[in-house]
Amino acid sequence: MGDKIFPLTVGIVTFVGCILLLIRMMRAPETDPVFVDLESGGEDAQAPHGLWATMAWFMGLLVLSGLFGLVIALSLFLLGFFRLRAGLNWAKAAVYSASGIAFILFLAWVLNRDFPPGLLQHFVSLPWPLK
């Protein structure tokens, strides 16, 4: 039960915040600052990658996680992201990806956490942290 308390608490607080924001948006005129999109006119509007391309990267991470588990998916995601999206060479992309995965594994080890498994783990018994 201890693993469920923190996510449940964060989820409840977020849900309440969303409801309050929706109520404020329903009661305010369209000229209210709550409707201001600061990314639409500033430097963020000229970003080299659009919203849907960015969302596709995260959707890819979710699909990979469902198939291979979080650690394998995150390794592939980080390597691909650093190589393709950030434009780094293979050596830098590999070093940055390995550093990120090592940090996440260290935190999981210190906190005694397991990672979400994927379809692969359903069929193949893998050691921690891949299980």
Domain extent for 22: 1-36
- Residues 25, 70 share a domain: no
Read off the pLDDT of each residue in 38-59 and give the average, rounded to a whole number: 71
44: pLDDT strictly greater than 60: no
Please name the amino acid found at residue 79: L
In a domain, 41, yes or no: no
pLDDT(43) > 70: no
Q: How many CB atoms neighbour CB 71 within 10 A?
A: 22
Within this chain, do residues 25 and 66 fall inside the same structural domain, yes or no? Answer: no
Q: Do 88 and 130 sit in the same domain of this protein?
A: yes
Q: How far is CA 124 from CA 46, 55, 61, 120, in A?
A: 45, 30, 21, 6
The confidence score (pLDDT) of residue 55 equals 82
91 & 116 share domain: yes
Q: How many domains does the chain have?
A: 2
pTM: 0.67
CB atoms near residue 87 (< 10 Å): 9
Domain annotation covers residue 76: yes
For residues 103 and 74, membership in a common domain is answered with: yes
pLDDT of residue 38: 61
How many alpha carbons lie under 13 Å from residue 51 in its C-beta half-sphere? Answer: 4
Mark whether 58 and 22 lie in a shared domain: no
Residue 28 pLDDT class (50, 70, 90 cuts): confident
